[in-house]
Structure 1
Amino acid sequence: MNIKNRILLCVIILQIAGFTALLLHYNSRASDSVLEFNRQQIMAAVTASVQRLDATAAQMERTALGLARNGEHHQQQHHRHNAEQIRTALLQLLVRTFQSFDQALGGGIWYEPYIIDKDVRYFGPYAYHNGDDVVPTWALSNERYDYLNQPWYSLAIPADWPRQNPRSSDLYWTPPYIDNAGTEALIMTVDALMYDNQQRLIGIATVDWEIEQLRQQIRELRLTPGTRPFLLHQASGRYLVGPENNSEVNTPVSNYHLLTLKTNHANDLQETSDEYLFAARSQTGLVLGVRIPHADLALAVQQRLADGMTINIGIAVLFVSIMALVLEILFRPFQQILNRLQSTVDYNREASQPSFRPLQYEADNEFTPIVRVFNTLVTQVDQFTRRLSDTNSQLLTEQQRVEELNTTLESKVEERTRELEQKNAEVNESLRKLKLTQQQLVNLEKHAALGEVVAGLAHEINTPLGISVTAVSALEDQLKEISQLFRAGHLDKASFDDFIQFSEEGVQITADNLRRAADLVARFKQVAVDQSSEQRRDFELGDYLQSIIVSLRPNYKYRPIDVCVECPKRIFISGYPGAVAQIFTNLMMNSLTHAFDDDRPERGQIRIEVQQLDQQVEVIFSDNGRGMDEDTLKQLFDPFFTTKRNQGGSGIGAYIIQDLVSHQLHGSLEVSSAPGQGTRFVIRFPLTRQMQD
C-alpha cells in the first residue's frame, strides 16, 4: 500500500473515530446545552414580560408621586385660596393627568379630615376614564363611602398611626381587589403619601390600575404547545390567572377580597416531576410565571439533535471525498518525481558517503523549482563539505572568546545591580517623604476650610445677637421710664398698655433672633464637627447641604451671587458627613474664587441638584461662571495645579474633592466646562457604605 492510500485510510479511520467520539460527546452534552438554552429563552421571555409590567407600574408610581406633590402644594397654599378654588384646581389637575395616561383606570387626591376646609371632613376629588373621556367627581368624598376607612387608604395611613410621624416608605401597592366604587373591576392601587411643611401626614394620592388586560395577556401567553401561564400576588398568595388548564374562578366578592383560588401560599409553587417552573417577581408584588411540560422541551432537544446529526454525517462524507480527490491530485506528480530521485542517488562504499547526480526533469510544473534547487544542492554539497572543517576551527576560536566576554559581563552586571539597588532605596525614601508632605498639605487644606466655617459662624451670629442687644436695650430704657412714672404716681392705663405692647414686641424680637442664633450655632457646630472628624453616621442629605451653604454664606452674601439647593425628597445617607462637607465646601469656594468676577453684569448662579437613582445618590453642582478651557480642565485634578498661584490658591482643593469622592464615598466624579459656559460637576455615590469600607 503506497503512502497516498495509507494517508487516505488514516484520514478515514481518524474521521470515523473522531466523528464517533464527537457524536457521543455531543449527544451527552448537546442535550443539556439545548435544554438549558431553551430554558434560558423561556426565562428571558418571562423576565421581559415582568419588565414590561414593571415599566407600567413605575409610570403609575411617578404619576401618583406627581399628584402627591401637587396635593402638598395646594395644602400649603390653602390659606391663600378658598376651598372652592382648590376644588376646581384639583379637578383640573386630575383631568389633565389622566387624559395623557390611558393605562390608569383613574386616581384621586385624598386629604385627612379638615386639612383643607376646617368644616369639611371628607375632601377627596377623583377622576376616572369613561370611554375616551376623563370624568372628575366628588361622589366618593362623603360619609357613605368613607374613604378614610377604606383598606387602600388604611394601607398607606393606618388609623392608629400618629400623623406627626413619617411613614417608612413614600409608596404603597395594594393587593388586587374588586373595586366596589362603581366599576366592579379587578384593580391594584398605588398610594403616594403627602406631607405638610412640618412633615406631618396630610393624606395620599392614588392611581388605580385595572389589571384585566394584563390577565388576558397572561392567558394568551404561549411559549410551547403545552405552556400553562399563571399570575399571582405573592403577599396574599392568591392566583389571578391559574395554571390548571388556564382557568381561574372569576366570581367577584366583597370589597378588597381576592378571587377564591386553589392555593393560598406562593411557596407552594414548585417544579413537579413532569414539568418545569419559570417565574419572576414584579416590584408590585405580582409573580408571573409559566409551567412547561418536560415533553415540550425534550421534543425541541430531539429535533435539534436530529438536525445536527444529519449535518455532521454530510460534513464527514464530504470531507472524506475531498481528501481522496486532493490526495490523488497531489501525489500524482510526487510519485513521478520520487521515481526519478531514486535513480539519482548512489552510495560510495569506499568513501563512506553518498554521491548525487543531477536530476533530469523535462516537465514544467510545481516540481520544476524543486528540481532546480536539488541540482543546485548537488553542486553545493561538495563546497559545503570543504568549508565545514574551516568553520569548525573558527567556531572553537569564537567559543573561547565568548567565554571570556561572559566572565567580564558577570562582573559588570553585579556592579550595575548594586548601583540600581542604591537608586531604588533613594527613590523609595523620596516617595515616602513626598506622600507625607502631600498628606500634610491635604490636612492643612481641610483645616483651612474649617477655619472658613468658624469665621462664617462669628459673622453670621453677630447680626441676630446685635438685634437682640438693641431690643433689650430699648426695653430697658422703656422699663426705666415706666418705673419713674409709676413712682411719681403719673402712670395711667394708656401708658401701661403702650409699655406692655412695646415689651411684647421687644421680647418677641429678642426671642426670635436668639433662636435664630442658636439654630445657626447648631448648624455650624454639626458641620464643623463633621469636617474635623471622620466618624460615620446617618444624616439627611438635603438638610445637611443647606447647613453647609448657611456656614459659607458670609463668603457670598454681599456679592451678586445666588445659591440654590434642590432636593425633591428626603434622602437619608449612612456614611461620612465630614467628607460631604469637605467636598461641597471646596466646590463652593472654588466657584466663588475662580468662577465669578465682581464686575460681571449679570448675577451669578450656583445650583446644587440632588436626586436618588436606585441605591445611589446623584448630586449635580453647577455654576454659570467664566468656565474653563480644555487645558485647564485636563489639569483640574492634578495636585498643586492652580490658576491663581500668586493670589492664595493652593492647587489641592480639586484634588481633595476627587480623593474624597473616590476613596471615602466610593463614588464617581465627572466634570464638564467651557469658556463662558460655566462649570458642571456630577457626583454619584451609594446611599450606604459597608462598615468594612
Structure 2
Amino acid sequence: MAMSNIKTRILVFVVFFELVAYSTIQLFNHYIYKNELLQLNNQAIEQTFAASMAKINSLTRLMERNVTDLAIAGENLFLLKKQQKLAMAVLEARVEEILVSNFNSFPEAIGGGIWYEPYVLDKAVRYFGPYAYQGRLKVEFSWQLNTPEYDYHHQDWYILASQQNWGRQQQGAKPLFWTPPYYDDVGTDSLMMTVDAVMYDGEYKEIGLATVDWSLKELTGFLESVRVSANSFPFFIHVPSGQFLSYPKDPGLVMQSARQFSWGQQVLDNELDGQFSILENFLIDKLLYNIYFYRTQDGFIFGSLTPVSDMEQEVNSITTVTLLAGTAIGAGFIIIMIILIRFLFSPFDKVLGLIKQSITHKSDGERVVIKPIHYGQKNEFTPIIKALDDVYHQVTAYMSEIVESNEQLSRSKKEVYQLNEALEDKVNIRTQQLAAKTEEALQSLAQLKSTQQQLIEQEKHASLGRLVAGVAHEINTPLGIAVTSASNIEEGIRQAYHDLEAGKLSKSDFALSKRLLAENATLLLANLTRASNLIANFKQVAADQASDEFCCFNLESYINKIISSLSPKIKHSRHNIRFECSNSDLEICSIPGVLVQIITNIVDNALEHAFSGEQAGNIAVNAGETGDNIILQITDDGIGMSAETVALIFDPFFTTSRKSGSCGLGMHIVYNLITQQLKGRIECRSAPGQGSSFLICLPKNRGSLHSRPG
C-alpha cells in the first residue's frame, strides 16, 4: 500500500508539472512569440522596400547627372559659337556627335536633347533643338522636333523653367526641374517624365535647356513585381502631382489622384522623407490592410497594400502546429511516465517480497530465523541483497577480521618504509626531468610569443595595404577633376592671350574668360584641398599604424581620421558608417596605431561577415567615458551570430568563412591588442538576426606618455 501511494504521488506530480509547463509555453507562444514573428516580418518588408527605393534613387540621380553633363556641353558649344570658332554646320555636327555618344553610353534614358532660346546662337535661327532617342538597334538622331509646328519653346516641359525664374533660387551646380508624369504623344506613347537642366551664358543669362526623357515603364514593371505577401499589391505615387504612376489592382487609376482614397490622403500627408512608414489596420473594401510605404527625397512614394490576414496567416500556422505538437508531446509524455513508473517500481516490489520471505518467526514467537536471500538477477538491488547476506556473518567473523587487519597493518608499515627509501631516488629523477621540461616549455613560450608578434605585424601590414588601396582609389577622383580644371585654366589663358595678341579680346570675352578661370581655379583648389586632406589623414593613420609608441591625443578627432581612411571601402559598398563621441574634448593616452588596427579589423570583419546578399547595412561607432576608462562600442545591424560563434570568435584560427580565404586571426589579434598591449577588455554581444556589438573598455592613461595635437 505504501509503495502504491508513492507511485501515485509521483504520477500526480509529473502530470501536474507537465500541465503547468505546457500551459506556460502556450501562453508564451501566443503573447510573445507571435509578436516577435510579426516584428520579423515587418523588418523583412522594410528591407525589401529599402532595396526598391535604392533602385529608384539611383535612377533619378543618374538622370540628373546626365542632364547636367548635357547642359555643360551645350554651354560650351554656345561659347565656342559666340567666339566665332564654330560655323553652324560644324555646330550641328558637334551637337549630333555629343547626343548620340551620350545616349549610347546611357541606355537607362529613352532620349533627350539640347534646346536653345530663340536667336541666341544666330540672329537668323529661331529653333535649334536637336534630339536623340533610343531606336530599335541604335541611338537615332533627329531634327523633327525643331519645327514651328512643334514649337518647343511653348511646350509644358520647356516653360516649366521660365515660370520658376529659370531656377535661380536653387542651390547646386545646375538648376534642375522634373516635369509631372505624362504620356509621350510623339513617339512611344508610354508614361514618362522629363528632367530639365538650365543652360547659362558667360553672364549668367539663360540660353536654353538640356533635357533627358525617362520612361517609367521598366521601373513600374519592376515595382509591380515586388510583393510582400500572396494577396498584397504595390502602388507608386508621384508626390508633387499626387497621381498614381502604378496601381496594379486597378490600372485605370494610373495618372489619377491618389487623394480620392482616404489612405492615399494620409500617405501623401506623411512628410517623413527617406523613412519606412506603416499605416496599420486600415479598412479597405471591408478588409483590414496594413499599408507599408517609403517616401524618397525626390518626390516619389512606393508602397504596398497588404491584408492583415496575410501577415497573421503564417504566424497562426506556426502557432497551430506548435499547439498540436505540444499537445501530442504532452500526452505521450504522460503515457510514457505511467509505463516508466510501473517498470521502475516492479523490482522494488519483487525485492520487498523476497525480504519478507527471508524473515520467519518460530512457533514459540521468541526467535527470528533469517535465511539467506537468493536473488538471481544482476541490477541495482544486487549489492543490497548481498549486503543483507553479509550481515548474517559479520558477528562470527568480526574477531578474525581484526587479527587479519593487524597482520595486514604490520605488512603495510614495512612496505611504506621500503617505499620511502625509493621515493628519494624517484624525487631526484623527477626533479631533473621537470627542469628539462620547464626549459622546453620556456623555449616553446618564447617561440609562441615570437610567432604571435609576427602574425600581428603581418595583419597590421595587410590592413595598411588595404587602407592604401582604398585611399588611392578615393584620391583618384579629386586629382582627376584637378587635372581637368588645370587643363581648362591653361586653355583659357592661352585663348585669352591669343585673342589679345590678335586684337580680338572684347570686354565681354575678357569677363567671360575671367569668370571661367575663377570657376576652374576654385574647383582646382577645392579638389586639391580634398586630396590633401585625404593624404594627410592617411599619412597620420598609416604612420600611427606602423608605430607602437604611446602618446596623448583627442579621441574624437583621431577616430574621425580613422573612419575617413576607411571611407573609400565603405563608399564603394552598400553600407554606411557613422561615429558619435559624447565628449569632443575627450583625451586618451594610449597607442594610436593599435587603436587604428582594432577599429579597422572590427569594421573589416563586419563588412566581410555581418551582411548578406543585397542587404544595405549600418555600422555605428560610439565613444564615451566612465570614470578612468574609455568606452568604445562598434555595432552593426547585420545577420548576427549564434551563441556558439560568439563563444569562439576570439579564438585563434576560428572562422565561419574559411572557404572564402579567411584565416581566423583578425578578431584574435584584436583581443590580444586590447587585453595585452592596451590592458583593456573587449566583449562581443550578438544573436541571430539582431546584429553584433563589440564593447571595448580601455584605460584613459597607459604609461608615461607625451602629448601631440589631435
Task: State the TM-score, normalizing by the size of structure 1.
Answer: 0.47
**Bigger-Rg structure (1/2):** 1
Task: State the TM-score, normalizing by the size of structure 2.
Answer: 0.46
